[in-house]
Amino acid sequence: QLQYLKSYNITDILLCVGYLGENIQNYFGDGQSWDVRIKYSFEETPIGTGGALKNAKDHLEDRFFLIYGDSFLPIDYSSLEKHFLEIDKMALMVLYDNREDTSVPNNISLDNRGLVRQYEKNTGNSILQYVDAGVLALKKDILDIVPSERTVSLEKEIFPDLIARQECAGFVTLQRFYDIGSPERLKRFETYIKQHCN
């Protein structure tokens, strides 16, 4: 992941870590071994995806990519950034057109303007078109609607709010993503890595 990001000149990395976060920090250090710069945001107790982002606010730029740590998507980040600047919305979700079985149900639909119309993170729905691929472009202003000092889920609380405000757009890709949320998915990712990496 770090090497792929660096190939798009993304070299300032912030890792939001919790349980055993020190082990992650001990392994990656300041990122010098990968020719990137890594900082860390620690959470003492689990505070959800939104809480982790709020906790990291002092380290974030006005615009940034959010990448879930358990997924990998070999996407063109330059095109993603360009589209994000053009649409001027608070959030841009990368969506996979789920033609190939990823073992993850479709959970998102778009309207004819490219805005997210419906999002069902955990349940999925056979009539929905896309699945979120674990990569987003966000404005730091999103933190203004994230409550402080409690557990907050981006998926259950913040994204529905952004969708209602018409501030969440979709960026569709045909490039499949890989996540390691189950032993089967981990095995698929390991196969992909063996085929594509030296």
What is the SS3 assignment for 82?
A: helix
Q: Which domains does the chain have, with CATH numbers?
A: 62-196 (3.90.550.10)
Measured between its terminal Cα atoms, the distance across the chain in Å is 14
The answer to whether 74 and 197 have CB atoms below 8 angstroms apart is no
What's the burial of 161, exposed, middle or buried (CB within 10 Å: 0-12/13-18/19+)? middle
- Whole-model pTM: value is 0.91
> Please, what is the average pLDDT of the chain?
92
Residue 59 has what DSSP assignment?
A: G
Q: Are strands 37-42 and 12-17 parallel, antiparallel or unpaired?
A: parallel
- Non-local CB neighbours of 149 within 8 Å, separated by 6+ positions: none
pLDDT in tens, 22-79: 999 999 999 999 999 999 999 999 999 999 999 999 999 999 999 998 889 999 999 9
Helix (H) or strand (E) holding 119: strand 116-119
The residues pairing with 173 across neighbouring beta strands, listed in sequence order, are 96
**Predicted local distance difference test score (pLDDT) of residue 101:** 62
